[in-house]
Chains A and B, each alone.
Chain A
């Protein structure tokens, strides 16, 4: 079958294709390889923009300095917390909302558009909305509500910076999870749900034994895609807390930014970048394996 479909002049075609494909391939290679090589190169250099006299090969000192820095460990922990926290909220909430929005109710079409809409707001804008419009201790909507019932509003971004960033990012990613999971819920054969009803399964048993297993693939996809983006959350932190107070809401991406463009330590920032690449690849390897196994079944 396969042989029959392959044209006879396959070899010659391949040669020609190679020539015509080469510009794209070369540009892509330059695009991805040069930054990588340069980052690696800088990470072994003494290179600080505020001190041009500092020059030359640094050995592994940039790495030693980074890895022994308590801020690094803290930012790593924050990265993990942010990823896990947002995943739990968006996948958990996403599953519940998807099941809810699968039901018939009045105004479902409008409700669906509303639940998806946060996804279309760009991160900087939604971070600003939350910071100034909703959570601002003096003129935020939330604070007004709190005062209206006679309570002292909490200054969320100052007191619980990481949790607040997490909440904002989760608010942005929940629609994505709902979108994917809702389509998955709707693809469930309704006769299966009816068969489960005939088998005596109540709503909870149906959710636990029929709907959740059916959603497992979609959940894996959501986890994978969200993880890729959540490892590099930057805009929300930059707009709301600038990583502070102190480093309380600094994640790896923001740490690298701050090393490079606030402290102008290109060498140290590059070392951070290389570490981030290594971590991202380790996580990607695990994720891809888990996803591949789940998608096979």
Chain B
């Protein structure tokens, strides 16, 4: 299998830079997910790796060899498209055979490979079917099968699950993860869905406007976001943000407070933070506790009951909105006052530029 290296990759469209110098190492057998809002350049970056888009600058290396100018088929990659892009006039067998045939593989070998792959993907009963006769999930499998038979060094997935319904998406997510564990192929996967990113990735690359915001394991991004953008993007429901000012800086952390009282000691390194500086406090919905003694006073504005969990939308006196996650049995009612406590150890502080202050302790699961 293969190692993919991106060295200051750039893409310019009509004098506008879409990808602004991306450098990245993708290790052998790694499952890397590119995630970001639409228009962040994640698909463009994938298509550049695939060879479908020209690379305007920088080097793309696969197994140490520069492949910028190689034809897509010569790079040893296989891609699964968002629309599956199956050939509608060919049956499942011919769809999977097409690439092998063009590569000049002998008939017997082709047959053997396709039957093997079809069996592992439970497609053996459908080999004679045309794509139009298959369900969405089956088409998805054929698209994956077409990628697998070519035995590529790297798999590329371009939002492959976005056309499936929620239940099937969950199932395919598990299947893809299992498949990756079995095939041990280097995989690059593009999605805008952070759940897919969190559940499948060994390494997540968060992109925004053609720039890599952070690279790391899912829990590293979750517990140690490097900046406001990553903090906001990873996690659902999203992190809450409160404007605060620094009160004091101690070895144990930085003490901050909101306008009216309620100071909080957050265990982070102060960095260049000065006293009385305006910072942003970030706290995830599950790190806000309902506490009759709590020093944050608010009013419940909305209750979203998810069964196992309940999400309370709470507004504070200054109209700041906080989303609080509590257990499914919580009997919160709209327009009732509520008192909350922020778990200081799990809070994040961001400076004026939106960069996170380093935490004093690493989360034990965030490698």
Contacts and interface: CB of A to CB of B under 8 A. Distances in A.
A196 interface: yes
Nearest to A214: B89
Interface string A208-236: 01100110100000000000000000000
Nearest to B89: A213
Interface stretch (B96-104, B249-257, B279-287): B96-104
Contacts of A201: 73, 98, 102
B50 interface: yes
Interface of B: 50-52, 71-74, 77-79, 81-83, 85-90, 98-99, 102-103, 146, 150
Given A198-B99, A201-B98, A205-B102, 6 more contacts: A192-B85, A195-B146, A199-B102, A200-B73, A200-B99, A209-B87
Given A199-B73, A200-B73, A194 B85 contact: yes
A198 B103 CA distance: 11
A189 interface: yes
Contacts of A108: none
Contacts of B146: 195, 199
A104 interface: no
Contacts of B90: 213
A195 B47 CA distance: 11
26 contacts: A189-B83, A191-B81, A191-B83, A191-B85, A194-B52, A195-B81, A195-B85, A195-B86, A195-B146, A197-B71, A197-B73, A198-B52, A198-B73, A198-B77, A198-B78, A198-B79, A199-B99, A199-B150, A200-B74, A200-B103, A201-B73, A210-B87, A213-B87, A213-B89, A214-B89, A216-B89
A216 B146 CA distance: 24
A205 B50 CA distance: 19
Contacts of B89: 213-214, 216, 297
Pairs A-B, 6 closest by C-beta atoms = A200-B73, A199-B99, A191-B85, A195-B85, A213-B89, A191-B81
B77 to A, nearest CB: 7
B82 A198 contact: no
Contact of A189 (B73, B77, B85, B103): B85
B85 A199 contact: no
A195 B79 contact: yes
Interface string A46-69: 000000000000000000000000
B72 A197 contact: yes
Contacts of A189: 83, 85
A200 B101 CA distance: 10
Nearest to A197: B72
Most A Cβ at <10 Å: residue of B71, B98, B150: B98
B72 A209 contact: no
Contacts of A197: 51-52, 71-73
A57 to B, nearest CB: 57
A219 to B, nearest CB: 13
Contacts of A191: 81-83, 85
Most B Cβ at <10 Å: residue of A189, A195, A201, A297: A195
Most A Cβ at <10 Å: residue of B50, B72, B78: B72
A205 B73 CA distance: 13
A199 B98 contact: yes
A192 B87 contact: yes
A201 B87 CA distance: 13
A210 B94 CA distance: 12
A183 B2 CA distance: 42
B78 A196 contact: no
A213 B86 CA distance: 13
A189 to B, nearest CB: 6
Interface string A105-128: 000000000000000000000000
A200 B81 contact: no
A31 B267 CA distance: 94
Contacts of B81: 191, 194-195
Contacts of A205: 102
Most B Cβ at <10 Å: residue of A194, A201, A209: A194
Interface string A162-205: 00000000000000000000000000010110111111110001
A185 B105 CA distance: 30
Contacts of B150: 199
Contacts of A297: 89
A199 B96 CA distance: 10
Most B Cβ at <10 Å: residue of A198, A201, A210, A213: A198
Contacts of B51: 197-198
Contacts of A198: 50-52, 72-73, 77-79, 99
A200 B147 CA distance: 12
A191 B43 CA distance: 13
Contacts of B79: 194-195, 198
A189 B89 CA distance: 13
A200 B70 CA distance: 12
A267 B79 CA distance: 70
A200 B90 CA distance: 17
A196 B83 contact: no
B39 to A, nearest CB: 19
Nearest to B82: A191
A258 to B, nearest CB: 46
Nearest to A210: B87
A192 B95 CA distance: 11
Nearest to B150: A199
Nearest to A191: B85
B312 to A, nearest CB: 43
